[in-house]
């Protein structure tokens, strides 16, 4: 194993588990199931492979963790329709009123566009 990182999707912490002998964190009852993810490879992964998600769902809200400044957040359904768009320093978007389904979040900041799949239940 050449590459083994633990990514904390809440804080953005990227811990190299091959270099760190011990890693501890304090869990809370409000933590969500997908807070952490493991990225591993037999070859050294590129930067993009380790980029953490920029949003997660907590208590019926989409929480934006990226520091995107005046970026625009678009919520796109699987038919490619933009169903909502938020500009400025939006950090929390309610999911009430959104039908259950799979959506694509698009974070547009100047020439930079990041996308992420989101499942609303």
What is the DSSP track for 16-73? ETTT-S-------TT--TTSEEEEEESSPPPGGGGPPPSEEEETTEEEE-S--TT-EE
Same domain, 40 and 84: no
Query: Which CATH number goes with the domain that contains 67?
Result: 2.60.40.3080
Any idea which of 3-17, 74-88, 95-109 has the lowest mean pLDDT?
3-17
pLDDT at 41 over 90: no
Burial of 21 per CB tally in 10 Å (0-12, 13-18, 19+): exposed
DSSP-derived 3-state class of residue 9: coil
Give the model's confidence band at 76: pLDDT under 50 very low, under 70 low, under 90 confident, else very high. very high
Higher per-residue confidence, 27 vs 56 = 56
Same domain, 62 and 99: yes
Same domain, 98 and 64: yes
Same domain, 61 and 43: no
The total number of structural domains in the chain stands at 2
**Domain containing 101: what range?**
55-120
Mean pLDDT over each residue of the chain, to the nearest integer: 81
pTM: 0.59
């Amino acid at each position: 194993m050449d590459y083994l990182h633990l990514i904390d999707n809440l804080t953005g912490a990227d811990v190299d588990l091959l270099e760190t002998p011990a890693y501890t964190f304090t869990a809370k009852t409000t933590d969500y199931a997908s807070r952490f993810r493991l990225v591993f490879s037999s070859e050294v992964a590129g930067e993009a492979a380790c980029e953490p998600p920029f949003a997660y769902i907590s208590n019926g809200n989409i929480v934006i963790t990226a520091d995107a400044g005046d970026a625009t957040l678009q919520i796109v359904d699987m038919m490619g329709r933009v169903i909502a768009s938020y500009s400025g320093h939006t950090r929390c978007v309610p999911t009430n009123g959104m039908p259950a389904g799979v959506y694509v979040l698009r974070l547009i900041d100047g020439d930079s566009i990041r996308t992420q799949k989101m499942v609303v239940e």
